[in-house]
Chains A and B, each alone.
Chain A
Amino acid sequence: DAGVIQSPRHEVTEMGQEVTLRCKPISGHNSLFWYRQTMMRGLELLIYFNNNVPIDDSGMPEDRFSAKMPNASFSTLKIQPSEPRDSAVYFCASRTGGSNQPQHFGDGTRLSIL
């Protein structure tokens, strides 16, 4: 049974460049979440989708961040332009059902902005 798949696993790029992180949720899951993890701020919820529709994007830091979910099996998180303070590990998670169900996490994308 395939879990949540994220790509790339590592990304190193220069500031100002566009970064696109990708996520394939578990088949059949109806909710998808994007998180950012840093030493300073811990695990932060950026945005989550339910049935491909963004429900809460209040955690998105600023307009440089955008997320899409064009279909039930794919989502992207884009940063444009990227800045060094965006360096973090970004996790995608998916879930079936409501908030009484656990989220299943991918292995994350470690992003370094130079």
Chain B
Amino acid sequence: AQSVTQPDIHITVSEGASLELRCNYSYGATPYLFWYVQSPGQGLQLLLKYFSGDTLVQGIKGFEAEFKRSQSSFNLRKPSVHWSDAAEYFCAVGGDNDMRFGAGTRLTVKP
């Protein structure tokens, strides 16, 4: 079965700075990869997904992610963080029939 690791539990960045959240996956076949964001008191919202084609994927809210097969990674990036981006971010990998989520990375944005 597939698995996901998000190495960073908590990241703090200043507003306007760039952001990169790390995600590593384990899966024997071509993975289906997703990033979700969760704001307090809400469910998970899909930011972007990858399952084939261009390895650089654009998502909502100015986010992008790059699939690197050689590194088994799917890191999430944003060039300039806004205060409203403070939330919890989950990487997920789909395989077989279901989806596995990472433990999440909590993003704090400093003014």
Contact = CB atoms under 8 A, between A and B. Distances in A.
Interface residues of B, number: 22
Interface stretch (B10-18, B40-48, B77-85): B40-48
Interface stretch (A12-20, A48-56, A70-78): A48-56
A105 B98 contact: no
B51 A100 contact: yes
Given A43-B90, A43-B101, A99 B95 contact: yes
A104 B32 CA distance: 15
Interface residues of A, number: 22
A102 B43 contact: no
Given A50-B97, A105-B43, 10 more contacts: A33-B99, A43-B101, A43-B104, A45-B100, A98-B94, A99-B32, A102-B46, A103-B99, A107-B43, A108-B42
Nearest to A98: B97
- Chain A: interface secondary structure? strand
25 contacts: A33-B98, A42-B101, A42-B103, A43-B90, A45-B98, A45-B100, A48-B97, A48-B98, A55-B98, A56-B98, A91-B44, A93-B43, A98-B97, A99-B94, A99-B97, A99-B98, A99-B99, A100-B32, A102-B46, A102-B49, A103-B44, A103-B99, A104-B46, A105-B36, A107-B42
